[in-house]
Amino acid sequence: MPASQPRSRARDRNNVLNRAEFLSLNQPLKGNQESRSSSRKQSGQAGAAGAQNTNPKERRQSQQLPEEDCMQLNPSFKGIAFNSLLAIDICMSKRLGVCANRASSWGGARSMINLLGITGHGIPWIAGTLICLVKSSTLAGQEVLMNLLLALLLDIMIVAGLQKLAKRKGPYDITPGLLDYLTMDTYAFPAGHASRVAMLSKFFLNHLVLAIPLRILLVLWALCVGLSRVMIGRHHITDVLSGFVFGYLQFRLVELIWMSSNTCQMLISI
């Protein structure tokens, strides 16, 4: 018995778990347990108090968040169709922008395409209409020219207002020219050149006596000007198509408010 007691004491001394730093593994301190339980109680009470203090509006918003997330992850059929058409429009417009810069496939023809676009600009048409109005000596000619001038001014104001509302940029980052800034044609939607050539072609077809070849050339000129705006990367395809529609609507508006010969003479005398 006396020999076994020193052996057991030696075993207890050599046991690693009996050291002071490992006592918490076998016998956790009561103070730590009490502090942990008290901290848990305090955190539970604080959470309950916070839940009571939350407003009903915040609770409703928190309940609605998953539904909003589901709405964003599962868009409607109209949203999917609109985004798909928009992506197709951007892709096709970029493919047709063969003269967007000098490094493009048709970069050498950029100056020619720009010259074709200038034929549909508002400033040359307004200047030419004013010159013809000054040199005109017939009442019928002055009446047509005055209404043409009204149509050109309305086109500039309507297109500028629509572009300011839409603020859509073109498929390529192209800085507008000086003539574009003068007519406030700085955005892409709708295409100002397309609306102008559509309105002019319809105006001339209705109020001028032209042969069939000239009528065909007039329509082809309007289509080529609209295509040129896509080729230089200034507008999307939908911008040009919407410009044609707005140009036709502007022509109908001018026909409704057509100024008579007496009104034109009064304005010319002023």
Question: Which tens digits make up the pLDDT trace of 65-74?
Answer: 444 444 455 5
Report the pLDDT value the prediction gives residue 55, as an integer from 0 to 100: 56
Report the pLDDT value the prediction gives residue 137, as an integer from 0 to 100: 84
Backbone angles phi, psi at 191, to 5 degrees: -75, 120
How far is 259 from 242, CA to CA, in rounded Å?
27
| Residue 132 to residues 120, 137, 138, 255, Cα–Cα distance (Å) | 18, 10, 11, 21
**What count of other Cβ atoms lies within 10 Å of the Cβ of residue 166?**
14
Report the pLDDT value the prediction gives residue 148, as an integer from 0 to 100: 94
- Tokens for 158, please give them: 């309507």
How far is 247 from 112, CA to CA, in rounded Å?
24
How far is 229 from 27, CA to CA, in rounded Å?
84
How far is 199 from 202, CA to CA, in rounded Å?
5
* Coil, helix or strand at residue 175: coil
Radius of gyration from C-alpha coordinates of the chain: 39
Residue ranges of the chain with per-residue pLDDT less than 50? 16, 22, 25, 28-32, 35, 46-48, 51, 54, 62, 65-71
**Residues forming the active site:** 193, 235
Report the pLDDT value the prediction gives residue 197, as an integer from 0 to 100: 95
Report the pLDDT value the prediction gives residue 205, as an integer from 0 to 100: 93
